Amino acid sequence: MIIRPLRADDKNQWQALYDGYHRFYDRPDLPQDFFDTVFARLMAVDPQDFHALVAESDGDLLGLTHYVFHPHMWFPEGVCYLQDLFTADRTRGKGVGRALIEGVYAEADKAGRPRVYWLTQEHNYAGRMLYDRVGVKSPFIRYNRPL
């Protein structure tokens, strides 16, 4: 298994994974237009926008992660927000998620913005089993504007 940046010819496999991710969060049936737009953003390699890494084994995509660098008031170099992480059901427990997070750590180091963080639902037990090993839970919780 290797961790590498997303490529144009990954489109179909990437979409299957990202669709699975949204189903996990109860957002099924996203239109094709959503996936086309997002994929185009990832391919544009805009330093202000999201980047993607995928885990590949013999041409098979096993997982994906999307991350973005954004400014931070306290750390002038900015920080890295790992927003999406997803691995195929058939690969759970094989270290794919961990390899993807560590791939983002490596990219963040290269970019000189080593502070990486992510958010997860308190009851995402399977995810947190991994996150407690590669990260540290903070006491911060998220509030949203009601819309």
Q: Binder to its own copies among 5, 20, 95, 114 (CB under 8 A)?
A: 114
- Say how many residues make up the chain: 147
**In the complex, least distance from residue 106 CB atom to its own copies, rounded to whole angstroms:** 11
Q: Indicate whether 92 belongs to the interface with its own copies (CB under 8 A).
A: no
The interface region with its own copies, picked from 2-10, 53-61, 92-100, 120-128 by CB under 8 A, is 120-128
> 61 vs 107, which CB is nearer to its own copies?
107
Tell me how far apart the alpha carbons of residues 25 and 56 are, in angstroms, rounded to a whole number. Answer: 24
Between helix 32-43 and helix 11-24 the angle, nearest 10°, is 120
Cα dihedral angle (117, 112, 100, 86), rounded to 10 degrees? 50
Q: Which residues are 55's β-sheet partners?
A: 3, 63
Binding site for its own copies (CB under 8 A): 27, 37-38, 41, 48-50, 66, 68, 70-74, 76, 81, 83-84, 105, 108, 114-123, 125-126, 128-129, 131-132, 134-147
